[in-house]
Structure 1
Amino acid sequence: MEFCYILLAMIAGACAPVQAGINSQLRLWTDDPIVAATISFAVGTLGLLGYVFVLKIPWPPFSTAGSLPWWQWTGGFLGAFLVVITIILAPRMGAATMIGFLIAGQMLVSLVLDHFGLIGYEIRPASLVRIIGAALLIVGVVLIRKF
């Protein structure tokens, strides 16, 4: 089962540079990264709504929405920021360098989230080996960018 999770993560990861390239091309038509990201999110939202309605997935009661902590509403903003930034950076950096630096940033923040068990993550201490792994990833990105 773990292999399936790894495979799904790799497939989702493979979508990131493809999505950035597609959205960068959409930017050429819209002449604005924010408009291109808005169109991308609108298409994604329509796809998700269709999925929810076709499978008849029940919505949670809206009356309980006010009881959620404020930060649980920020995921969409973070996703929008990520998409806009990839639209801007993809043509300037290239797919490999851009995704490499995105993954490096994800790895560094992930180590902190795991180490302290923040926002619902189980505590997984940032051991020396994990830190070295993250550092090697950053070295790899620098090599990709340089050569």
Structure 2
Amino acid sequence: MTVLHWVGLLALAAFAGAVVPFQSAINANLGRGLGHPLWATLASLLVSIIVLLPVIVALRLPLPNMAFISKAPLWMWAGGAFGVCFISLALMLLPKLGASGFIALAMAGQILASLLLDHFGLFGLVERQLTTSRALGALLLISGVALIQFSGAQPQGD
């Protein structure tokens, strides 16, 4: 992989992370407007389908492998449930914790879960042992999360 390709992948990963607080803040407002956060979760997922289907058609992707669908273990379908969980919790918690607080705490959870997934090679991932340096890196990131969340800036109103 070339350096340019690697930098492009890093930029895309950073962009994927950057859209999360925007999605959460917009959905929190949508939830208030619709009367409950779960309505906003449903709306968000419906918009996702509406946006994704034309892309699938434009790319002329073949239909999914129906034989695989019938044989896939149940855990493979949990991603959608985790998505609902994240979206719903984001739009309930973001107004209370603030965008930086929610994202920082969500990131701490992502770091810890990612270390476990990597260490044990769960769900088909390549095993990446939890070394001292990886644990120290996670600790530094989580320390940064704590500084963001508990640095004295108190919410106004509420």
TM-score normalised by structure 2 residue count: 0.90
Distance 2:112 2:65 in 1: 36
1:44 aligns with 2:40: no
Distance 1:140 1:64 in 2: 42
1:31 aligns with 2:49: no
Show structure 1 runs of 5+ residues with no match. Answer: none
Deviation (angstroms), 1:22: 0.5
Deviation (angstroms), 1:120: 1.2
What do you get for the CA RMSD once the two structures are aligned? Answer: 0.9
Show structure 2 runs of 5+ residues with no match. Answer: 152-158
The amino acid that maps onto 1:57 is L
The amino acid that maps onto 2:44 is S
1:128 to 126, 132, 147: 132
Deviation (angstroms), 1:63: 3.6
Q: How does 1:54-133 map to 2 (within 5 A)?
A: 54-133=58-137
Distance 2:67 2:145 in 1: 46
Residue of structure 1 equivalent to 2:14: 10
Distance 2:46 2:87 in 1: 13
Distance 2:49 2:65 in 1: 20
Residue of structure 2 equivalent to 1:19: 23
The amino acid that maps onto 2:53 is L
The amino acid that maps onto 1:11 is F
Following TM superposition, where does structure 1 have runs of at least 4 consecutive aligned residues deviating by more than 4 angstroms?
Answer: none
Distance 1:62 1:110 in 2: 30
Deviation (angstroms), 1:66: 1.2
Distance 2:41 2:18 in 1: 19
TM-score normalised by structure 1 residue count: 0.96
1:137 to 1:63, Cα distance in 2 relative to 1, 3 A? same
Distance 1:27 1:102 in 2: 19
Distance 1:66 1:54 in 2: 26
